[in-house]
């Protein structure tokens, strides 16, 4: 990102375009779904169930992947963001969910992983009673972190790509929400002997809460793969200065980052994840200084921009 690097100063910034992973407008969840839907296919499932926020990128890509495999899809939308405007409720990812023919369910809580998973199980039970063979992609942490394996593979890809252009990567900055992308990438890099710092930008929880989550996920990845733990406490680096005022709610650094990425690199970022992460990228670039190389993992989320149209239009007016 040479233009943005010149504008910001500090470390040379690069971007890994995981918004271009292809299926259903792409994003990091495509890599994760390869493993979940691989398991579903092995079980000969015909119906996928998944839960997420109203403007969730994950559920949109899950719907696209399910349709690609000839499966039905049931989506549960959680009330994580206090908005009721038409754009948020009808446009963006919600519109794409409907175009994909997903059956939509609604869950009134926004921070109740156990409850939302239990509700998925209840929906699955009703479908099973009708003869459907279901596969549930759970949100809670007690289930095997299959999705994180997608980012162990991505770690290999990143290392190979950097090697091909003789780039020494000093730091990778990634969004840290559910934690599967962050933990999988960190675990994969350490498994390859790569010591690059991995900084997670918190999008939903505080640094303290998220650190425990990433540590737990890395332990469970090791157990799933049957290998020794590879990630220590000092490997887990997080910043949470851009979380407020809460998940899915804009703040000035996020708005500024969305604007800067678009106007300097023609790169679109969303207000929930990548806009916040770019704020962290800019902060880390300035902290690292010249002569260092920093990679921003762009996890997608473009359709969500349209779900936030009124807020973004207001934020961009006169800027």
Residues identified as active-site: 56
For 155-188, letters b (16+ CB in 10 Å) and e give beebbeebeeeeeebbbbbbbbbbbbbbbbbbbb
Task: Indicate the Cα dihedral angle 177, 183, 184, 187, nearest 10°.
Answer: 170
Structure-token match 């003789």, residue found: 166
Alpha carbons 54 and 115: distance in angstroms, whole number = 16
Alpha carbons 120 and 123: distance in angstroms, whole number = 5
DSSP state of 271: T
Alpha carbons 16 and 184: distance in angstroms, whole number = 16
Q: Look up residue 214 and give its two tokens.
A: 């990433």
Which residues make beta-bridge pairs with 74?
A: 49, 103
Assess contact for 164 and 197: CB atoms under 8 A.
no
| CA distances from residue 278 to 148, 175, 200, 232, 311 in whole angstroms, order as listed | 22, 9, 11, 26, 19
Instruction: For strands 134-137 and 103-107, give the pairing.
Output: unpaired
Alpha carbons 196 and 126: distance in angstroms, whole number = 47
Assess contact for 132 and 72: CB atoms under 8 A.
yes
* CA angle 286–16–157, rounded 5-degree value: 125
| CA distances from residue 250 to 69, 257, 274, 305 in whole angstroms, order as listed | 36, 11, 12, 12
């Amino acid at each position: 990102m040479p233009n943005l690097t010149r504008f910001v100063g500090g470390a040379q910034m690069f971007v890994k375009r995981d918004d271009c992973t292809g299926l259903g407008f792409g994003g990091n969840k495509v890599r994760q779904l390869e493993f979940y839907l691989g398991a579903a296919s092995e079980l000969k499932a015909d119906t996928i169930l998944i839960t997420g926020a109203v403007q969730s990128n994950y559920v949109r890509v899950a719907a696209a992947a399910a349709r690609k495999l000839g499966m039905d899809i049931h989506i549960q939308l959680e009330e994580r963001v206090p908005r009721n405007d038409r754009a948020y409720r009808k446009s963006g990812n919600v519109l794409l969910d409907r175009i994909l023919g997903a059956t939509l369910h609604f869950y009134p809580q926004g921070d109740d992983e156990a409850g939302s998973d239990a509700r998925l199980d209840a929906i699955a039970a009703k479908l099973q009673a009708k003869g459907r063979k279901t596969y549930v992609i759970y949100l809670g942490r007690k289930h095997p972190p299959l999705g994180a394996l997608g980012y162990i593979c991505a770690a290999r890809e990143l290392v190979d790509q950097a090697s091909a252009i003789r780039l020494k990567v000093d730091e990778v900055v990634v969004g840290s929400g559910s934690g599967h992308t962050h933990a999988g990438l960190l675990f994969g890099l350490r498994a390859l002997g790569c010591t690059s710092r991995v900084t997670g930008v918190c999008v939903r929880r505080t640094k303290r809460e998220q650190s425990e989550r990433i540590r737990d996920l890395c332990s469970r990845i090791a157990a799933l793969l049957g290998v020794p733990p590879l990630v220590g406490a000092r490997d887990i680096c997080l910043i949470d200065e851009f979380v407020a005022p809460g998940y899915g709610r804009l703040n000035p650094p996020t708005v500024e980052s969305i604007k800067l990425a678009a106007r300097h690199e023609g790169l679109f970022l969303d207000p929930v994840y990548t806009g916040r992460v770019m704020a962290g990228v800019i902060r880390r670039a300035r902290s690292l200084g010249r002569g260092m190389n920093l990679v921003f993992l762009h996890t997608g989320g473009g359709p969500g921009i349209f779900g936030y149209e009124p807020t973004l239009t207001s934020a961009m007016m006169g800027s």
